[in-house]
Chains A and B, each alone.
Chain A
């Protein structure tokens, strides 16, 4: 069973109790085809979620949708922006013991050629993980002057393989 390390970036606008927030997350996950025949994606950062699908891309799509519902749940549970920001940061930072090492091991297997990626991984954009900081930023948008909004701030989802291009 091959573990594929992946990197992703999601940007969302989330309505909360008395605030509007922009959340941009650059995360890490491991993907593999389990013995049940399904593709699974296990969050490393954030570590508190997983999803699956009949294909790798279906699993990633489900993971993306689940991530958004987690943000919606956190927004509903937070009485103000500060609570929301703290909980989203905590959600992103949580990681099981040894999971970062498992991700790094999978990256090294790609780098040294032990693992030759199959499709769709072989077709994904490739970036060195050092160039993709694993982080989350939570911004309050409703207090921002409207003339600071720009279409240049729109960022599409990314789904990448962590090796040098």
Chain B
């Protein structure tokens, strides 16, 4: 069973749950910053497995909010 979402959905979740977040590309991945924390290995291309989003949401302390925006996180 695939459990992935588009980066557009991730952006929408971050806009709601992590206002002020910033993102950029590094050589190997997407780097997302929020509230002084940096998640460093979000995939650059294609659909994003929800495990990456779960890990990032825990780091940013926004998991409960993220689950409401991306229901796959709640499974």
The verdict on A118 contacting chain B, using a C-beta distance below 8 Å, is: no
Residues of A within 8 A of B27 (CB): 69, 72-73, 76
Does B49 lie within 8 Å of A94, measured CB to CB? no
In the complex the two chains form, what is the Cα distance from A35 to B51 in whole Å? 10
Does B3 lie within 8 Å of A96, measured CB to CB? no
Does A34 lie within 8 Å of B51, measured CB to CB? yes
The verdict on B59 contacting chain A, using a C-beta distance below 8 Å, is: yes
Residues of B within 8 A of A47 (CB): 37, 55, 58-59
In the complex the two chains form, what is the Cα distance from A51 to B28 in whole Å? 14
In the complex the two chains form, what is the Cα distance from A37 to B40 in whole Å? 24
Total A-B pairs in contact (CB under 8 Å)? 83
Interface residues on B, range: 20 to 34
Does B39 lie within 8 Å of A49, measured CB to CB? yes
Residue of B nearest to A95 (CB): B59
**Chain B residues touching A, majority SS:** mixed
In the complex the two chains form, what is the Cα distance from A76 to B29 in whole Å? 13
Residue of B nearest to A46 (CB): B40
Interface residues on A, range: 20 to 34
Residues of A within 8 A of B59 (CB): 47-48, 94-96, 99
Residues of A within 8 A of B67 (CB): none
Does B51 lie within 8 Å of A49, measured CB to CB? no
15 residue pairs from A and B, CB less than 8 Å apart: A35-B1, A40-B54, A40-B55, A43-B55, A47-B58, A48-B38, A49-B39, A49-B40, A50-B54, A70-B40, A73-B29, A73-B40, A76-B26, A96-B59, A97-B61
Q: Closest 5 CB pairs between A and B?
A: A50-B55, A36-B3, A69-B28, A73-B26, A96-B58
